[in-house]
Amino acid sequence: MKRKQLGNSNFTISAIGLGGMPMSLSSRPPESQSIAVIHRALDLGVTLIDTADSYCQDESDKHHNEHLIAKALQEYSGDVRAVTVATKGGLMRPQGAWTRNGNPHHLRKTIRESFEALGGKEPIDLWQYHSPDPAYTIEAALAPAKEAVEAGMIRFIGVSNFSVEQIKRARDTVEIVSVQNQYNPWHRQPESDGVLEYCETEKLTFFPWSPLGGSRRVTSLQDMPAIAKLAEEKNVSVYCIVLAWLIAQSPCIVPIPGATKVSSVEDSVRALEVKLTDEELQQIAVS
């Protein structure tokens, strides 16, 4: 498995990760199935698992995905010392909705809960502020994360759903190693808003969330002629083509596709073997 440096840190992560979100929403699979998926990802060399305190059904179910990942790692028969778990805080799930909460008191509490959910012994590898809450300054919202680094509960800090200006403000407060924004064939804002270029220039890792378009759009990939044609020519899935396209956009990109089936994680890893020419990348760009 190819590895990449995590931002400017001395940590390395696999060139493709595993997104844990679909394992914990209302349509979640049986726990045993999710653990099998995580174990298969580890077998294949995936060492980055992305999660969040809000990957759950509602507030009564908070931290479900973190507990699940911790259990899977504990039960894995292999060596997990190289595994990086990246979690997030700052979103709430009232009655299953998604709302922002950048209140420093809340973030301080949820960081502690995430730390405990993930084992409570080693620092959280990467904690990310999930989405900036306009009710609180970025500086105030990131203060608890800075405190947690000093207290040994967090190793590295990242941000999510941030603009370039917001990333700069965050970096004036704490050291940032990563940015996680939406990026897929339908949502290509990082190409035009400067975030992707900024991450590449500043050597920050960029995690594209919803890389395959999410549950509502993933099935539409087959209807995109250029992607479908390339998938047929290269004898791979349309999902492999999209992930390979994302990886080719910048050396700082590490996709984190979600999975609830072993076959899905196996397919995602195959994307690292797919090579796209400049002409093929252009075909996708204009599709």
What positions carry a catalytic annotation? Answer: 55
| Integer Cα distance of 79 and 95 in angstroms | 38
| Integer Cα distance of 104 and 146 in angstroms | 11
Token reading at 282: 């252009």
Angle at 4 between CA 155 and CA 130, to 5 degrees: 45
Q: Which residues contact 4 (CB under 8 A, 6 or more apart)?
A: 12, 13, 14, 15, 205, 251, 254
CB atoms near residue 10 (< 10 Å): 6
| Integer Cα distance of 260 and 258 in angstroms | 7
